[in-house]
Structure 1
Amino acid sequence: MSKRVLVASTIGAVAKSLGNLCENHGGHVTYFEQGKSLLKQLIDGKHEVLMVELNFIEGEHRDLITRIRAKKQLQDLFVVVYAPAEMSKQEQARANGVNAVLTAPFTDYKIVSLFKRAFALPKQCLFISSCSHEEFSAALTTMGYDFKQILSAKEALEDNSPQVPDFIVVDYNLSDMKGIEFVERAKECNRLQKVPILMAYNGREAGEIEEILKAGITDVILSPFASAQNIKRIQDKFPLPPRGRRLRALVVDDSPTIRDLIASMFKELDYQVETAENGFEGYKAVQRIKPDIITSDYDMPVLNGWEFCTEVRDHEDYKDIPIIMITTRATEMDLKKGEILGVSAYLAKPFAKDTLKAAVDTAISNARNKKEQETIAKFVAADTLNAVSSMVDEQQDAGKGESKQITVLFSDICAFSSKCERFSARKIINLLNTYFDLMVEVLTQNNAIIDKFIGDAIVARFDSGDPASDALDAVRGAWGMCRELERFNLDSFEEVQSRIGINSGEVILGNLGCQKHRLEYAMIGDNVNIGQRLESSAPKQGVMISESTYELVKDHVLVGERQEIEVKGKDEKVAAYVLEGLV
């Protein structure tokens, strides 16, 4: 990471001292050149942080912050005003809109803390334990946390390094003191007193759990520390920022006082903040920055909160952004309207800052969970999610399989390897994803379950419980894929031809894999293999169906002459037909 910092000052000696501190912690520092355009220097130098002296933003530069925030190229710029130890209310007002205020004396600790915020550096977990917990370390490191373990509580309490951990996980049993004693002593340590602490307890003794709770420690993780439940809990409590940027918040309110109050709270949480005075300006801001969370007043001119939220929810790109409605309206009817619209939370004015922070944390967490579920759904077949739900509800044994009468479809691109040799990886990926989007759309319109993608191949199954309907859906889907591919080739930089094989019969469906690692809801059996072999025997840009499929759909299709196909692993040939049309 480059850590490019621009320092703008009226006093060169102070700027140089601050710049040296930044360089000591990896910053690449440039100084503002008097007489030149500051905004141009920021943009041309691709600076990520501006440290500007308080006295600099007066006179000709009094509207500097406003001009910076209006520049699209600088929307991610982290602006720090550095100032004397004491600031008047008037001076504080001049610093409105910045990400942070750095007051004298300037120390290593303050610079490290600022850099962590400015460059969205990984949150550090300090793990205090005299035992090795490699799985726990690996899990948090893989998630993106900066994991550090030390063996004794005394070492943590005596550490004077400028980097303070974002949270601490302390073992209940330490070699030099109890974890509870460490928590009490950390509260008296200037460096650690504000750092959240979780207790890691490797036991199940009710008396010791009560001792932990009586000490005022409510955040406890039980062994195994690397369990999915514990890791998820840590992730929810200490969320990592999106890689390469800070979270963005949009505050929409026609009251400057409320707007500034909420904006300041978000800045304390290291959000990049944009504000708008009505729903119309708010929607333009949504289009410009695509925020991670929105707070909106209800009663506003031009476009009120309800109308603003409606516009956001009706747009495909913005519909999942969490919205917190802040209003004097909090009747049961308002709450029901908000629920229908998808408002994440209602806050009635006046409200405490802690209440707003809790609502923001909950809304962000819920939005993340929803996105995780939607993302998971993209990687697994639709009925796999049903199987998972049944396993969670203990209605289905993870190791149990079942025989079902279904239709399977295999599709593969002809001569795909040669295309990979002729085109760049980017072009191949774009070609494949466009092809998959079109083919899957046709298949799902015909009630297919997309089983998996294997390289350039699509494996689908039709499993409604009605064998005749399944076979007909598969044939119609395959015919539609061929027609859609013809249209695709009219505009594609490379012509794509495919082969499709379809077979109907009994297969085994179940969870295959390692119980301790990962399971895959998959189909196996002779009829699956036949479907795959028919695909390899199909003509280019054609479909081959088995005799068993033909018997189920023969009143609805046109086919060629009956053929007998040799199938690897079978002594007898398999009867099949080339699909020539639909009736």
Structure 2
Amino acid sequence: MNRNPTKSPRANILVVDDTPNNLRLLSTLLTEQGYEVGKALNGQLAIKSAQAAPPDLILLDIKMPQMNGYEVCQQLKSHDQTKQIPIIFISAIDEVLDKVKAFQIGGVDYITKPFQREEVLARVENHLNIQALNNALRQEQKKSENLLLNTLPKTIVEELKQHQRAIPKEYDEASFLFSDIVEFAANSSSMPPTEVVDLLNQVFSAFDQLAQHHGVEKIRTIGDAYFVAGGVPLVRPDHAAAIAEMALDMQQAIAQFRWPNGQPLALRIGINTGGPVVAAVLGTKKFAYDVWGDTVNIASRMETQGAPGKIHVTTATYEQLQDKYQLQKRGVITVKSKGEMTTYWLVGRRW
């Protein structure tokens, strides 16, 4: 029977058998078909070999001293590095219960000795093709997951994977930051649209790196506005400090960018702390993660009623930051829909 080895180019197969003659026979058969073949005379060597250089497929004998084939399979299936390797059992044992056990512990096929050359090659080729398709599917799933991670928090992606939906969650307290680029419309109106997009991409990419560094979550961007949460979706007691660090570093980062006229970009930042707030995923075709609550609205007001180059915070945020950060009292201001509020400027760190 003529087989075309190019269907599985340079596939690496590990043959495990404690009988040298069987090992040599299978090795020669597979090598003649263009496969790269590794050999192991016992279970311990097989596990070490598979972990050091995972093969594309394993042909595994059952009756071996010290560690039988079932135990080898269970060991390999218990480790992330080797659990996806297809294992074909090849044994003189022809009992139904033994075959059932082989499949129950993770084997993909079972060949009975004495084996036929054509049967071994056909089954090997078939499972290598299946494995190639599974690998391609896993790659596509990984791409899809990475796309989701660009839109949603990691914990939410995991919840969607497990339950196909994310349950809205209430948080007792968190901190929120809104920022926008000062005079963005006026300064960008004379720029080509592609340059405006490129500038925003550079700025927001820098902010994204800061968010990852400080363990806070970017919720969304709207135009030149950037919205970040601390303590959502991952609860952390130091959410106010994390957002403060984010704000201070954002002010440093934005100073590295210039308008075409050479003037540096500047941010207006507002922060508020409180709760409760509710976070949830909206949509079924295009997902969006967002947070709602009066605390969020006030954080937005702090930004719009702030000042260029400054970080405007509420009394609630001030109370959590005052021991470790330098803050200056702004005084009483009238906040839309809230009335009079005492607010502060976050200036820097005390250390």
Matched length = 263
1:85-136: CA deviations, max 9, x gaps?
xxxxxxxxxxxxxxxxxxxxxxxxxxxxxxxxxxxxxxxxxxxxxxxxxxxx
One-letter amino acid of the structure 1 residue matched with residue 299 of structure 2? G
Q: Name the CA distance, whole Å, in 2 between partners of 1:493 and 1:328.
A: 64
1:577 is aligned, of 341, 344, 351, to 344
Q: 1:369–1:518: structure 2 CA closer, same or farther, 3 Å change rule?
A: closer
Residue 465 of structure 1 deviates from its aligned partner by 3.9
TM-score, normalisation: structure 2: 0.64
Aligned to 1:364: 136
Q: Name the CA distance, whole Å, in 2 between partners of 1:381 and 1:493.
A: 36
One-letter amino acid of the structure 2 residue matched with residue 578 of structure 1? W
Correspondence list, 1:166-565, <5 A? 261-262=5-6, 265=7, 327-329=36-38, 331-338=46-53, 345=85, 352-388=124-160, 391-392=163-164, 398=167, 400-463=168-231, 465-467=235-237, 469-489=238-258, 495-511=264-280, 513=282, 520-565=288-333
1:511-535: CA deviations, max 9, x gaps?
3656x76764422121111100111
One-letter amino acid of the structure 1 residue matched with residue 153 of structure 2? A
Q: Name the CA distance, whole Å, in 2 between partners of 1:533 and 1:513.
A: 24
Q: 1:542–1:358: structure 2 CA closer, same or farther, 3 Å change rule?
A: same
Q: Is the 8 A contact 1:509 1:521 kept in 2?
A: no
* Partner secondary structure for residue 355 of structure 1: helix
Residue 365 of structure 1 deviates from its aligned partner by 0.8
Q: Name the CA distance, whole Å, in 1 between partners of 2:220 and 2:148.
A: 13
Residue 478 of structure 1 deviates from its aligned partner by 0.5
One-letter amino acid of the structure 1 residue matched with residue 37 of structure 2? T
Q: Is the 8 A contact 1:443 1:481 kept in 2?
A: no
Q: Name the CA distance, whole Å, in 2 between partners of 1:477 and 1:368.
A: 34
1:211-253: CA deviations, max 9, x gaps?
xxxxxxxxxxxxxxxxxxxxxxxxxxxxxxxxxxxxxxxxxxx
* Partner secondary structure for residue 495 of structure 1: coil
Structure 2, unaligned stretches of length 5 or more? 15-34, 40-45, 55-78, 89-119
Q: Is the 8 A contact 2:279 2:289 kept in 1?
A: yes
Q: Name the CA distance, whole Å, in 2 between partners of 1:403 and 1:500.
A: 23
Residue 404 of structure 1 deviates from its aligned partner by 1.9
Residue 386 of structure 1 deviates from its aligned partner by 5.0
Residue 297 of structure 1 deviates from its aligned partner by 5.5
TM-score, normalisation: structure 1: 0.40
One-letter amino acid of the structure 2 residue matched with residue 417 of structure 1? A
Q: Is the 8 A contact 1:335 1:346 kept in 2?
A: no
Q: Is the 8 A contact 1:502 1:535 kept in 2?
A: yes
Residue 551 of structure 1 deviates from its aligned partner by 0.5
Q: 1:465–1:512: structure 2 CA closer, same or farther, 3 Å change rule?
A: closer
Q: Name the CA distance, whole Å, in 1 between partners of 2:185 and 2:254.
A: 19
Q: Name the CA distance, whole Å, in 1 between partners of 2:12 and 2:260.
A: 47
Residue 450 of structure 1 deviates from its aligned partner by 1.4
Identical amino acids, percent of aligned pairs: 19
Q: Is the 8 A contact 2:12 2:38 kept in 1?
A: no
Residue 500 of structure 1 deviates from its aligned partner by 1.0
Residue 496 of structure 1 deviates from its aligned partner by 2.2
Q: Name the CA distance, whole Å, in 2 between partners of 1:296 and 1:489.
A: 53
Q: Name the CA distance, whole Å, in 1 between partners of 2:159 and 2:313.
A: 29
One-letter amino acid of the structure 1 residue matched with residue 38 of structure 2? R
Q: Name the CA distance, whole Å, in 1 between partners of 2:211 and 2:286.
A: 27
Residue 561 of structure 1 deviates from its aligned partner by 2.7
Q: 1:502–1:390: structure 2 CA closer, same or farther, 3 Å change rule?
A: farther
* Partner secondary structure for residue 540 of structure 1: coil
1:118-163: CA deviations, max 9, x gaps?
xxxxxxxxxxxxxxxxxxxxxxxxxxxxxxxxxxxxxxxxxxxxxx
Residue 488 of structure 1 deviates from its aligned partner by 4.0
Correspondence list, 1:54-133, <5 A? none
One-letter amino acid of the structure 2 residue matched with residue 328 of structure 1? V
Q: Is the 8 A contact 1:439 1:481 kept in 2?
A: yes
Q: Name the CA distance, whole Å, in 2 between partners of 1:334 and 1:530.
A: 60
Q: Is the 8 A contact 2:148 2:157 kept in 1?
A: no
Aligned to 1:158: none
Kindly indicate whether structure 1 or structure 2 has the higher relative contact order, using CA contacts under 8 Å at least 6 residues apart. 2
1:297-327: CA deviations, max 9, x gaps?
599xxxxxxxxxxxxxxxxxxxxxxxxxx63
* Partner secondary structure for residue 243 of structure 2: helix
Q: Name the CA distance, whole Å, in 2 between partners of 1:370 and 1:334.
A: 27
Q: Name the CA distance, whole Å, in 1 between partners of 2:155 and 2:306.
A: 28
1:22-59: CA deviations, max 9, x gaps?
xxxxxxxxxxxxxxxxxxxxxxxxxxxxxxxxxxxxxx
Q: Is the 8 A contact 2:182 2:266 kept in 1?
A: yes
RMSD in angstroms over aligned alpha carbons? 3.6
Q: Name the CA distance, whole Å, in 2 between partners of 1:382 and 1:445.
A: 15
Residue 543 of structure 1 deviates from its aligned partner by 0.9
One-letter amino acid of the structure 2 residue matched with residue 576 of structure 1? T
